[in-house]
Structure formats: structure tokens, C-alpha cells
Amino acid sequence: MPDPAVEIRDVVKRYDGHTAVRGLSLTVPRGAVYGILGPNGAGKTTTIRMVLDVIAPDEGSINVLGVPNTTRGAIDRVGYLPEERGLYRRMQVRRVLRFLAELKGVGRHEADRRIDRWLDRLGLRTADRDWGDAKVDDLSRGMQQKVQFIGALLHDPDMLILDEPFSGLDPINAQMLQDIVMELRRNGKTILFCTHMMDSAERLCDSVCIIARGAKLVDGPIARVREEHGGRRVTLELTDGTANGVAAVLADRTLVHRVNDANRIFDIELAPDADPQRLLRRLVDAGASIARFELAQASLHRIFVERVGALDTSTEANDHA
């Protein structure tokens, strides 16, 4: 078992007047797509900046690809796509990319070769237009995002850190990016990404960590998180009105923890240790005319809203500070 891609241990980061990250520990396995999820101001960007050794934690340690992240050259194996585009606006696209690659130690000729390959791949160089020769300023937001993405990949990093990668992209480009992320994963790269968009996290991630107000709430492989923290749920749909017997079954606290009644569709949270099969039998016995009985796992979205919503979010601090 190789060292994890990222290992954060008991990291604390304080700013004047508030603590942005408090005692955070998490492990990103190699070759996984790992999502750090959290509301705005949860400490995601601060955490990423600490992983990248841009800012130093006040306490705790961070290892990246098996070595402390302050080791010389450790961060050169990492690619980073920031939340906001960060490109020299008056520079030619190709020169910006060459600069970013050279900063990571890629030779000039190799960089040029890779730049052309990625420009082709992302549709920035076609038969009738080579955007590599244009100035960054002349590109649309979506194109700039793609250029930024190329900049993060040129040195063929072992790990890629993406901060809100899909914001500002149209669905086609977002899909293109997702495909590349998946391809990188197949090639054994580790992808760490930050988002507050739960649906993309749910589709892409192997593991997640939900943080809020600088502390971890939940983490682990996505299936386990759902199972452990989502509760077990049943969606029940009846073909006609509720028979009296059905209401009695749903009121049985040994079977049903909570029920959300939306006319003929019920969103049922099972009681701990309750057997869904027994619930189904009881409902049939009670004379219910069942159109649908579905065992559903909670969505990340739901877990997120429930978990984070439980905290008082009114004192959100800005983690950009």
C-alpha cells in the first residue's frame, strides 16, 4: 500500500479574530477522486492553500505524496486549478502556458509539444483558429477556464487539485472536463476537488469529506457515508388514497422513525434496526395498494443539508481572508 496522496493531521489555522481550520484530519488515498465539500467559508480554500504550502498551518502536519509538503519539489508533483481564473491577461495564451509549465520544471520544447496537444484536445486549436496565439483577454470565460485547466496539467502531475472546477462552464465544457478527470483517474492520478455542488461530487467522487466552519463533519468512501449518515429510507407510492390500516403501520415507531407525507408519495425514514421487508409485508397486510416501494439511499445533497444545516451558519467566516 503506497503512502496516501494527502495526509492532513490535526491542522489548525488561525487568522486575526477567527479560526479558519480547527483540528482537521483527513486522508486522500492514491488514485482516488476525493471531494472536499462544504458551504462557502467552511475553510476549503484555506485547507487547499495549506496543502499547496502557500500558507503554513499554525498546528499539525501535512504530507503530500508521501513526504511533508514543505519538502523541496514536493508541490511540483501537484497541479492546481484555482477557483478564480488566474492568468496574465495581456499575455499570449501559449506564453502563459509555457511559463506555468517552466515553473514546474518542464523544458521548453516538451512544454510546447504538450501545449499543442492539450489545445487540440480541448478544442482551442482548430483548423481555422489557433487560440494559443491569442491574448488571454480575447478569450471567453469558458475558454480561459480551459486554459487554466491545461496549465494545471502540463507537468503531468501525480495529483490534481481542483477548486470549484465546474463553476462558470457550460454543460458541454463541464462534461469535457469531467471526462478528462475520469481519464486521469484511470491513469492512476489522484484528484482532490473542492466544491459545494453536491451533484457533481456525487457523480465523480470515490470518497468525500464534508467540512463546515473549519471542522470535519463526515468523511469516508461515498457509499459508506451514505449508509452511515444518510439513514435508510424508503419511498412509498400508493395508487389511491390512504387506507386507515396504512396510517397505523406508518405510525409504528418500531418500524418508522419519521415520515414525510406528500399526498400519495411517502418519504419514509426507517427506525434503527427496522427491516424494510417487514414494513412491506405489514403494508400489504394492511390492504395498501402499492404502486412503488423503493429502498433509497440518501443523496449527498441531503446529508450535506442535514449535517451542515444543523450548525448555525449565521456566523460564517470568510475563508478567503
Give me the residues that bind another protein (CB under 8 A), please. Answer: 16, 49, 52, 54-55, 75-76, 78, 80, 82, 84-91, 95, 99-100, 102-105, 148, 151, 320-321
Cα dihedral value 81, 82, 83, 88, nearest 10: -110
Which 8-state DSSP code applies to residue 313? G
Q: Which residue, 82 or 132, is less far from another protein as judged by CB?
A: 82
Q: How far is the CB of 127 from another protein (least distance, A)?
A: 28
Q: How far is the CB of 75 from another protein (least distance, A)?
A: 7
For the chain, the C-alpha Rg in angstroms (whole number) is: 24
Q: Cβ distance 279 to 249 under 8 Å?
A: yes
Q: How far is the CB of 256 from another protein (least distance, A)?
A: 50
Which 8-state DSSP code applies to residue 111? H
Task: Spell out the residues 6+ positions from residue 21 whose beta carbon is closer than 8 angstroms to its own.
Answer: 11, 12, 13, 43, 46, 47, 50, 57, 214, 215
> Nine-digit cell at 96?
502563459
Q: Which residue, 67 or 223, is less far from another protein as judged by CB?
A: 67
Burial class (CB in 10 A: 0-12, 13-18, 19+), 43: buried
Q: How far is the CB of 59 from another protein (least distance, A)?
A: 16
Distance of CA 116 to the CA centre of its chain: 29
Q: Which residue, 86 or 309, is less far from another protein as judged by CB?
A: 86
Q: Which residue, 27 or 148, is less far from another protein as judged by CB?
A: 148
Q: Which residue, 88 or 293, is less far from another protein as judged by CB?
A: 88
Q: How far is the CB of 104 from another protein (least distance, A)?
A: 6
Q: How far is the CB of 100 from another protein (least distance, A)?
A: 7
Q: Which residue, 55 or 290, is less far from another protein as judged by CB?
A: 55
Which 8-state DSSP code applies to residue 133? G
